Chains A and B, each alone.
Chain A
């Protein structure tokens, strides 16, 4: 938490985390003002504690710990296949961990009843890697879907809300198009409009930049940063697009070998002397992370029997 906050607010955060409450009289006048104007920032919203997750025999995470602060953009990065998407699904309660817990605003996600889990998910939005738009609904209806499901709104109000969301992602003019008619970047933006339709506190982005052309990528980077700031969203971006993510992230977690390899501000990560961190940031083909998947000796494999 010290990474996100000033020294004085750190004292408050630690105190409130330990005691669950605090007395305003304990704080200086300056701190009171800071808290008044920035009530959402600086508090941990999602806490991953000693999380382990296995797929069959294979460990995806073991003893993973990380804290995601409220109102910030947090990047979770790492090589392909280390379970970044799995982590988002664990946060959203779609997968059960083998051990450990994930606290969302103090609630253990995996101990919640089905009804309470669905209630919690209303506070979450998720942008899927594929967009996951409903292929039989047009763009307007895709964005309207969560509103129709959860809100009893007059049609005119709903229409205005949907058009506002689509306008925010620059696709008001595409409202009548079907998902098949959209480019990859447009589909991702529609999915983003849908993810923020219920005005969630948290948006989870699963590889938002994969397969995007430079313009679409630039648009998405700007959108994520702008929406995060203007709506005071807590954004969690899972990605391995180093430059794009680091250009907007407030805090970065680098995951490798089942646990957090490095964490800190963008500058702290860039300054890291860990060779694995540097290999990832610089995109080196070989290094501590081997180019070859573990296998038997090459020469003996070539000369051996099939």
Chain B
């Protein structure tokens, strides 16, 4: 019993210490005046974490939009409300599925890659060699990747939403025969810019901060061994995914609770 309590205490302390290290890492990485070099690196990283994530985001968005349309139609048609399929697809995507699924996919695709890349750089002493060349790896490696993640994810979520709505249109209108005009006009009338699009974007930005931070810290804090990188990558995806789902609940409660 005492051993179990002491293990729990040790685990709590280790997690608090890790949170402290993660906060220090982020503060040191971001606390400096941006330079032109940083902007160039951010653009390069935007390609790596953003553009290269685009195919999986677009394909997933399309399928999820199509699935919502199928499921929605099968429920709504019973009530003769199939013309409300447009707002159903759009609101589901804008408010919840767009930001959340994009964040989960981003954590799996770009987050794991960031963790593995930085973990490997640490293992092969590339980060140490940078330090010895008087180049701060936090500014040179961590900062551009962090900003790239934060910029990329809301853009990816927006594209996810657009493609998802188009997928819903394909299934609902082209396939199941919902009226084209009703689909778009009711959707347009139902969406509020601030409440739906704005809150969805806020969620995306919060998820981007969380996922990118978790991914970068786990890489930077990885034990410098093959097993260490593997554990860090797994931890990165698991922690980021759980964090996204937890934050989604909190944000949804705050945004739509009343």
Residues of A within 8 A of B (CB): 89, 92, 94, 118-119, 121-122, 124-126, 128-130, 132-135, 145-146, 149-150, 191, 194, 198, 204
Contact = CB atoms under 8 A, between A and B. Distances in A.
Contacts of A92: 131-132
B136 interface: yes
Contact of A135 (B124, B132, B134, B136): B124
Nearest to A93: B131
B11 interface: no
Contacts of A119: 134
Contacts of B7: none
B133 A198 contact: yes
B125 interface: yes
A124 B124 contact: no
A128 B133 contact: no
Contact of B131 (A121, A130, A204): A121
A-side interface mostly: mixed
28 contacts: A89-B128, A92-B131, A92-B132, A94-B132, A118-B134, A121-B131, A121-B134, A122-B134, A124-B132, A125-B132, A128-B125, A128-B129, A129-B125, A130-B124, A132-B124, A132-B125, A132-B126, A132-B129, A146-B134, A146-B135, A149-B133, A149-B134, A149-B140, A150-B135, A191-B129, A194-B133, A198-B133, A204-B132
Q: How large is the interface on B (under 10, 10 to 19, 20 to 34, 35 or more residues)?
A: 10 to 19
A55 B132 CA distance: 21
Nearest to B136: A118
Nearest to B129: A132
A216 B129 CA distance: 22
A260 to B, nearest CB: 24
A132 B140 CA distance: 16
A134 B133 contact: no
A130 B133 contact: no
Interface string B113-148: 000000010001110110111111000100000000
A173 B136 CA distance: 30
Contacts of B125: 128-130, 132
A126 B134 contact: no
A145 B135 CA distance: 10
Contacts of B134: 118-119, 121-122, 146, 149-150
Of all A-B residue pairs in the complex, the 3 with the closest CB atoms, nearest first, are A132-B129, A132-B125, A121-B134
Contacts of B129: 126, 128, 132, 191
Given A92-B131, A94-B132, 11 more contacts: A119-B134, A121-B131, A121-B132, A121-B134, A126-B129, A128-B128, A130-B125, A132-B126, A134-B126, A146-B133, A194-B133
B145 to A, nearest CB: 13
A12 B129 CA distance: 37
Nearest to B28: A114
B135 A149 contact: yes
A194 B140 CA distance: 17
Interface centre among A89, A94, A118, A132 (most CB of B within 10 A): A132
Interface in B93-128: 120, 124-126, 128
A198 B132 CA distance: 12
A204 B128 CA distance: 13
A274 to B, nearest CB: 33
A132 B224 CA distance: 13
Nearest to A146: B133
A134 B126 CA distance: 6
Contacts of B132: 92, 94, 121, 124-126, 204
A94 B130 CA distance: 11
B40 to A, nearest CB: 11
A181 B181 CA distance: 60
Contacts of B131: 92, 94, 121
Contacts of B124: 130, 132, 135
A234 B12 CA distance: 47
B126 A135 contact: yes
Contact of B128 (A94, A145, A194): A94
Contacts of A191: 129
Contacts of B126: 132-135
A94 B134 CA distance: 11
A147 to B, nearest CB: 10
A145 B136 CA distance: 13
Contacts of B120: 135
A236 B129 CA distance: 16
A132 B128 contact: yes
Contacts of B140: 149
